[in-house]
Each structure stands twice: as C-alpha cells, then as structure tokens.
Amino acid sequence: MTENISVVVVGGGYAGVMAANRLTQRDDVTVTLINPRPNFVHRIRLHQLVGGTGDAVVGYRDILADRVRLVVDTASRIDAAGRTVSLANGGTVRYDYLIYAVGSGSADPDVPGAAEYAHNMASLEESQRLRSVLATTPTADVVTVVGAGATGIEVAAELAAEGRAVTLVCGKVLHPYLHPRIRRRFAKRLAKLGVTIIGGPGARATAVSRDAVLLADGRELPSTVTIWTAGFSVPDLAIRSGLTTDAAGRLLTDETLTSIDDDRIVAAGDSAAPSNLPLRMSCQSANPLGAHAADTVLSRIAGGQPTTIAIGFFGQCVSLGHGAATAQIASRNDIAKGFAVGGFLGAKIKSSSLTGLIEHLAHEAHNPGSFTWKFRDDSRHQRLQALAAR
C-alpha cells in the first residue's frame, strides 16, 4: 500500500488556505496547515475592525476543507534537508512538499518614536489594540494616519465617517499607485469626509511623540492617536531557514513558484518573489498565487511539468467610508489607467470583494480545483526578458 504524501502549508492567510484546500484533490495527499491563530483573519476588513464598524475574523471551519489538519502554532524554522518544520512549542512536522505562504505584516518604522507611540494595524492583534485605544479616545481628538496607500486611506476614511478629526500624512503624494486623475477624485472624497491631507515636499514623517508627528519640513502636527500604515514587511522565516530570498525577505522562486534552492518548497502570496519580480502584495493576487502553488505541487507529485504564472490584475478597489468605494482600473500588468468606477457600482465592487474572497475559499474547500482566475498577464515573460537583457 502506498504511503500518503504529506504537504505542509505554512501560513493560513488567503494564499495558504486556497493552496491547502486545492491540494485535497488527491486522496493520497495529507495536508497540514500551520498558522499561529485558530481563526482566519480577513485582512481587508481590518480598517472596519479599527473603526468599530465590522469584524475581521472568520472561523477556519467555514473556509477550510475537512481533510486539512490545522496546527495552531508558529513555524520557527524550516529544515529543507530534513524536510521538517520546527514549531515554536518545540514540536516538528514532517513534509514531502511544503508551501511557504507566511504573508506580510507591518514594516518596522525607522522613524524615532514611531515604535513607542504609533499604532500598527497590519495584524489582527495590532488592530484590536488600536480599536481599544480609539474606544477611549474622545471623538474630537486628532487621529493622524501616516502612510497614504490603500490601508491608510481606508482607515482614515472609516474614522472620518465616524465623525473623528483625521489627518492623513501622505509623504509625497496620496496613494502613488493611483492615476493622477483618479488621485484627485480620492482627494476630493476624503476632503468631503473631513480628512486633512498633508502631502507634497516635506510631508514625510520624521519623528513621532506621544501627542505629535514631526514632518521633514519642520511642521509639527498634533496627534492624540498616531496610526502607522507606511509599508509592509514579510516574516524572516525563510532567511532564518537558510533559504534564498530577495532583498525584502520574500522567498526567491522560479516562474512556477518553486524555490530556487529546493523543488520540494513552493511559495505563494505576499512572501513569494518569482524571478525576483514579485507581484503587488494584495489579496487580489493571493488567491490565484495560492491556487498556482498547489497546482505546482500536484504537478510534481504526478510527475508532470508545472506551468509558469501569468497572473494579472484588474486594479484596486479602496473603501472611502461607510458604503462608499472607488475602483481604480488598471492594465493586467498592474499599471493604473485614467479610469475608475465610483458611486453605487464602486461600492458594489468593494462589497462583493469582501464577501467574494471568503466565498472563493469556501467553494474551493468543498470543490477543490474549481477556483479560476480570468485575469492573465501575458506580458510578464517579455518584461522578464527585458530585465535579463539589462
């Protein structure tokens, strides 16, 4: 009798859950998901948790296939030679194949005072602590959000819609991803909510104190609560395990998402750097990357040749307060266009993405192999060739 093949997925976010569910297509594959929390964190709802308007926790049994074994623990080291994962509690888990999907978190700010006085919100625990702080902070007190990417905009808009006084420190410009024409629409909507936008030369936070944020041009902004959303980082598990990473610490892979060090290790989600040209960190790319990682493993188990990624984008939809959102449309290689969808339709797109991501995971749990992604970036190969020619 043939022994089951053991596949371990490290990380239970969007990419990790999608990969774990998809692997259950084969009856001879045993799937183990290692995650530090007993529940799934719906990260694109964290701004609602912070604002007190929604929850960001989903039970794993609502989205995880019954055949997937959940181990609630933190992976401390991967032993590629011995094919084991060491756990923080002292145990180990053996694998035949491993999917590395540890995700991303808050970047450690190198700005004086930020670590002591600013609040992050990239994780569930950070967001819960921030919510507790805001619950005891008078509405009239100024909340300063440092970092004007999607997360910064969403939490600033959410809090302003609740009637709070909010200042948004952009650095240079409001959400650099946006097309200039669409950026003006975002600024107009934020201003209508009452958000004070600080941008342009000198609008970079250089220090944070208990009650203020200092900017590069010398301005001092009053701030009772400072929220730091500038940048993300990935866990250093790959580095600690002696695996090759890019400069940001993402696992370096080929175009099939296979580690350049070991064809038994495959990466997915924010922590993957295929060909040192990673996709934008986002839930939009996480599900298809998780599915592709699982397909790569399943192909290797079957003795086949894994396919290369061609995952494209449609843009980015950003919440702009209660029941409002704008979708910045982009090319499939993720370049923003001068077109966006707002109003009722924009809100509908955002609402459907909030529920759709969970529905995709749940559907894959019950029908492994069913998830498909219709947006393909067929120009990626040409861009890789151009980079190689430099």
CA atoms within 13 A on the CB side of 140: 0
Question: Is the confidence at residue 1, as pLDDT, over 50?
Answer: no
Split at pLDDT 50, 70, 90, the class of 350 is: very high
Question: Is the confidence at residue 71, as pLDDT, over 80?
Answer: yes
How does the average pLDDT of the chain come out, rounded? Answer: 95
CB atoms < 10 A from the CB of 331, how many?
A: 14
| pLDDT recorded at residue 113 | 97
User: Helices 283-301 and 14-23, interaxial angle, to 10°?
Assistant: 30
Share of the chain above pLDDT 90, in %: 93
The closest alpha carbon to 332, from 360, 374, 382, belongs to 374
- Pairwise CA distance, residues 389 & 369, whole Å: 37
Q: pLDDT digit string (tens) for 175-223?
A: 999 999 999 999 999 999 999 999 998 999 999 999 999 999 999 999 9
* Residue 11, token pair as written in the block: 């990380």
CA atoms within 13 A on the CB side of 129: 12
Q: pLDDT digit string (tens) for 105-127?
A: 988 888 999 999 999 999 999 99
Mean pLDDT for 36-61 is 96
The closest alpha carbon to 263, from 251, 253, 278, belongs to 253
